[in-house]
Structure 1
């Protein structure tokens, strides 16, 4: 017998209750939903997060709304699975995040002062360190983060306890220093061997210092690199399309010939 779907609501609370009801219906009656575990959902959640990221970078707010819904579904799904073995439920999850936000914003919910963003971040990291009982300030950085994002988080954590450069000119000097060291290891004549391990190390140092400088000038390095990736893809697809229209194969074209279409794409 078919179930009666819960009706739409005009309130946030009503809409959330509707989602919870649907989740319960699916978990109890749908063969696919009944089979899922936290482990089986994990890779799907990661995929949904990247889809949300793509929507944000593309500026498509309607798609952002849809992807937020997909992620909300996953959050409710995890809580429902946990509730079946009395580990926790959605109420525990929501109260937990509310308590955390209240505790980590003493400048809002108590008399502590924090007059700027930097002070708020410092307080946040101090309270977080105390809550988690981490031995190291960097203990809260997930080991599975992509390296570029991890570098940013490491630097932010260190800054939270005062371990940071005083101004961006100092950071840029460090960038130039690391660039020169990398050049010394890698910029050899074509027939000269290089120490690949040392060159890799110097390149890592250079990237780390560039990410540090990006932080000082309020550039998100992950977003910046992804936008450049998308720009390259768009231009390369134009190159491919124009070559195909001219009955040319990229493998047979010279770099100079490809540059003509590439420069067209840049103008577009």
Structure 2
């Protein structure tokens, strides 16, 4: 029965769940899969989420289906391990999310009116989430901002949460002034320990500026990485036409080629 399902190309979600169960079977499964636990799989889960974001960023729609499948498989993997421990099942994961979405959208699934702005819906969402946190005995404003988030994303979430209770600069001007202050402190420090701390402070305020400008700092940095990669490839290609590599050049020449790359993009 299970073999028939496993080889059914239209088996859908039941097929994937059965494949995962078989992979973790202690007697007939895959040794690598059997050895894994939540902690060892978590980095792969994060990586797969970023690969989904990368496919979207590149508008690689032909790849997105596979990347979403990889991310789904991570949820299935964690749910299977939880089921083996008697913690919860995949169906319970799905039911929990369904319950949450219904509860957080009373204007869609309940009696509340949909006649309100996106801003009002956001405020209502936060009110509902605050009630959920209270029911879980999480009283601190920052208590449930996940520690495992990428640092830049967590900085923004911490700042958003603090801003909701009034702990925030009123405008971008104050944030930019703070960036100048933190940059000067970084310039003046000579201790490696203080340099580390001041650099972190500077990044944290930069994340705050992104929030005030309504910019996703992770997306902005990914775009900057892509631009750097593209322009450096232009430098490599230009040097290769002369039979050279970057290490055969110098900073002045490569800087000039960088400017040429910028002009080419603008043209």
**Interval of TM-score (by shorter of Structure 1 and Structure 2):** 0.7 to 0.9
SS of the residue corresponding to residue 139 of structure 1 reads coil
Deviates more, 1:217-226 or 1:203-212: 203-212
Question: Hey, what does 2:152 align to over in structure 1?
Answer: 148
Q: Give the alignment partner of residue 24 of structure 2, picking from 20, 23, 27.
A: 27
Question: Hey, what does 1:258 align to over in structure 2?
Answer: 254
Separation (CA, whole Å) in 2 of partners of 1:110 and 1:3: 43
**Paired residues of 1:185 and 1:198 also in contact (CA < 8 A):** no
Structure 1 unpaired stretches of 5+: none
* Paired residues for 1:12-161 under 5 Å: 15-28=12-25, 29-32=28-31, 33-111=33-111, 115-117=117-119, 118-161=122-165
| TM-score computed with the length of structure 2 as normaliser | 0.80
**Paired residues of 2:179 and 2:206 also in contact (CA < 8 A):** no
Q: Cα RMSD between the aligned structures? A: 2.9
**Paired residues of 1:48 and 1:70 also in contact (CA < 8 A):** yes
Judged with a 3 Å threshold, the aligned counterparts in structure 2 of structure 1 residues 163 and 107 are, in CA distance, closer, same or farther, namely: farther
Shift in Å at residue 68 of structure 1? 0.9
Deviates more, 1:107-116 or 1:238-247: 107-116
Structure 2 unpaired stretches of 5+: none
What per-residue deviation string (whole Å, max 9, x for no partner) do you get for residues 237-259 of structure 1? 22123223313343453322112
Alignment length (residue pairs) = 255
Q: RCO higher in 1 or 2 (8 Å CA, sep ≥ 6)? A: 1
**Paired residues of 1:178 and 1:205 also in contact (CA < 8 A):** no
| TM-score computed with the length of structure 1 as normaliser | 0.80
